Structure 1
Amino acid sequence: MSRFLVVQERPNPSTAFFIEPFCQRNAVTAEFYQLDTLPELAANEQVELLFVRYISKAWQQWVQQYRQQIRTLHFFMDDDLFDLSAMRGLPWHYRLKLFRLAWRKQRWLQQQQAKVWVSTPYLQQKYHAWQPQLMLPSYPLPQQPQLTLFYHGSASHMAEIYWLKPVIAEVLQRNTQISFEIIGTESVNKLFRTLPRVQVLHPMGWQAYQALLCRGNRAIGLAPLTARPFNQARSHTKFFDITYAGAVGIYAADPVYQRVVQHQKNGVLLPMEQKAWVEAILALAADPEQREAMLQQALLTVSNEAS
């Protein structure tokens, strides 16, 4: 069986609802590539190629190079990507993206004798001249439960956020059952957008943040502190935030947290060494009994401080 290559901008709902179920139903093992990642083919190797919504110039050049080895070229769309008038009312930058990566690829797709797949009977009827194949959506198979790791720093914590980036990258790579939650603006979103399973929440007011913590479902909270004069005046309020969220904290071994955190009893104290934080996070994630024991001690500490 020839290789089945799927090209997508990034992991997305279109692929999850339509393409992945198609592959599962037909016992097809797909290889997923992004718009800027190009595989090499062995001499005389045959492949099937599917573009999901978008086509980059780099991939057009790749097709030209390997066209004789592509048995069938497919293009899947689940929006009306071939009609500029249908895009009226959309944000201009999104319209420009659709124009560049989809609309103006029509003639090229026809030249390549591409087979079009569509998501709705409406698109199938509208573009009947393409003889499109209707794809039916399926709900993606439920993923394994995710353990939520979080860091809720404000704009004054950008040094800590940058410090955490490689820590989070390795943790997510080594344990696919961990997701990461962070609060930040567009700059934080850009910093973490290439990592899987990261949710960047917009900054919020105090009452909204309290409501967020009360929703629970968080397991491990992080509280690093870099060596900066501004941090010398910090208090240990993150200990309360993490505990109120129902989570166990990993804290910088700094006087700020050493006042309240007892290592391995009501939290974890670590030097600011990224490798040590990676290993501690993975160890805690794998030990729910230890997390629960430390959480109960942390709750007791909070209660004692309040009394």
Structure 2
Amino acid sequence: MTVRQLLRRWRAPQAQPPASDLQSARRIVVLEEGASPSGDYLLYPWLAQRGLPVHRCDSRLPPQAGLLEAGDFVVILRYLPSAWLKPLGLARPQLAGLAWFMDDDLWDPAVLPGLPKAYARKISSHALRHRHWCAQMQAQLWVSTSALAAKYASHAPVLLPLAPPPALTRAQPEALLLGYHGTASHHAELAWLHQVLVSLMARSTTLHVELFGDLAINRQFRDLPRVSVLHPMSWERYQHYTASHRLDIGLAPLQPTAFNQGRGAVKFYDYARMGAFGVYADVPPYRGFVQHGHDGLLLPMEVEQWVQTLLQLGQDAELRQHLAKGAQARALSGPG
């Protein structure tokens, strides 16, 4: 359906008294497409003040039988795949209530022409076309701004405040950034490093990691928390990036392949330029170049040893400072 067709068909539904009571609910079920700023900055801080248990459900997955129980209050966070309409409709008489929360204008087809086509299609299929369904289900409308509240005043919207929890707003000086700046030729190292990061991210909440990689690498690592995949860049752009970007620990695993036998130890200088020291595979070219314990660390390619070492480094600020100073001094001293 085109935007023009939606504009012709759209009529503002008559607002109905909400047959919903959050106070009498036994729990709140949020249908969301994974974690989002909409939830973390707005919805969940507000729900936390209601004093009810909250069950988060990934609406991208098929509805499961028995998920919704009598007395639940269901909140739809921005979007709803059509597969959920029938289960929600069947459960509605037993629900304590239903609400749709939006922090963008998702119910007016007139705003779609100015948006990227893919984004407009998403709004149309997962939000706009469900507006009349919401009226039929007597769903409350929850919004994030006074502009949305005024525009949809006929729905008696609930205005949620922008109130992110302190954990999202205060600086985190304990956070440490690890980086692996490998090129496209390092897919074997990235596959090995994935094993390290799966274990590392599960055991630490303060370590963050940045990688360089293509779409395949992004897909490989996207489910790991606190791991960012950056687009590859030219050498000139990389120099500008590293001149203004700080790193705490550089990672340099290296598999024993024929191609890798010809590599040099250039990552030592990449990491030193960002104020970091490196954790290197204990193989040439790093063996014989890195001074273990002084300007970096050399480790065998054993997953658990890398995990344990990185966890220990995360807790030992004095050792990190010692190694970083050693790497800086070595880089500035020139060849040798």
TM-score by length of 1: 0.89
Q: Report the secondary structure of 2:114's partner residue.
A: coil
- How far the C-alpha of 1:67 sits from its partner, in A, is 3.8
Identity of aligned residues (%): 36
Bigger radius of gyration: 2
Going from structure 1 to structure 2, the CA distance change for 1:237 and 1:122 (only over 3 Å counts) comes to same
Q: Do residues 36 (structure 1) and 65 (structure 2) align?
A: no
The residue that corresponds to 2:297 in the other structure is 268
Structure 2: stretches of 5+ with no match in the other structure: 1-24
d(CA) in 2 for partners of 1:68, 1:149? 51
Q: Do residues 131 (structure 1) and 156 (structure 2) align?
A: yes
Q: In the alignment, is the contact (CA less than 8 A) between 1:251 and 1:269 conserved in 2?
A: yes
The residue that corresponds to 1:13 in the other structure is 37
Q: Report the secondary structure of 1:258's partner residue.
A: coil
- How far the C-alpha of 1:45 sits from its partner, in A, is 5.4
d(CA) in 2 for partners of 1:236, 1:84? 56
Which is worse superposed, 270-279 or 29-38?
A: 29-38
The residue that corresponds to 2:242 in the other structure is 213
Which is worse superposed, 225-234 or 263-272?
A: 263-272
Q: In the alignment, is the contact (CA less than 8 A) between 1:36 and 1:58 conserved in 2?
A: no
Q: In the alignment, is the contact (CA less than 8 A) between 1:23 and 1:29 conserved in 2?
A: no
Going from structure 1 to structure 2, the CA distance change for 1:41 and 1:286 (only over 3 Å counts) comes to farther
1:45-194 mapped onto 2 (5 Å cutoff): 46-64=71-89, 66-141=91-166, 142=169, 144-145=172-173, 146-194=175-223
Residue type at the aligned position of 2:149: Q
Q: In the alignment, is the contact (CA less than 8 A) between 1:35 and 1:58 conserved in 2?
A: no
Which residue, out of 250, 253, 259, partners 2:288? Answer: 259
- How far the C-alpha of 1:215 sits from its partner, in A, is 3.0
d(CA) in 2 for partners of 1:49, 1:17? 19
- How far the C-alpha of 1:103 sits from its partner, in A, is 1.4
- Aligned pair count reads 307
Going from structure 1 to structure 2, the CA distance change for 1:48 and 1:159 (only over 3 Å counts) comes to same
Q: In the alignment, is the contact (CA less than 8 A) between 1:82 and 1:103 conserved in 2?
A: yes
Structure 1: stretches of 5+ with no match in the other structure: none
d(CA) in 2 for partners of 1:61, 1:227? 55
Which residue, out of 313, 318, 323, partners 1:294? Answer: 323
Residue type at the aligned position of 1:185: D
What root-mean-square deviation, in Å, do the aligned CA atoms of Structure 1 and Structure 2 show?
Answer: 2.5
d(CA) in 1 for partners of 2:44, 2:252? 38
Which is worse superposed, 192-201 or 33-42?
A: 33-42
CA distances 1:193-215 after superposition (whole Å, capped 9, x unpaired): 22222222222233332232233
d(CA) in 1 for partners of 2:139, 2:294? 62
Q: Report the secondary structure of 2:224's partner residue.
A: coil
Q: Report the secondary structure of 1:204's partner residue.
A: coil
Q: Report the secondary structure of 1:292's partner residue.
A: helix
Going from structure 1 to structure 2, the CA distance change for 1:125 and 1:269 (only over 3 Å counts) comes to same
Q: In the alignment, is the contact (CA less than 8 A) between 1:4 and 1:47 conserved in 2?
A: yes
Going from structure 1 to structure 2, the CA distance change for 1:42 and 1:100 (only over 3 Å counts) comes to closer
Which is worse superposed, 12-21 or 139-148?
A: 139-148
Residue type at the aligned position of 1:259: G
- How far the C-alpha of 1:61 sits from its partner, in A, is 4.9
d(CA) in 2 for partners of 1:103, 1:126? 15
Which is worse superposed, 115-124 or 132-141?
A: 132-141
Which residue, out of 194, 207, 227, partners 1:198? Answer: 227
d(CA) in 2 for partners of 1:24, 1:16? 11
The residue that corresponds to 2:279 in the other structure is 250
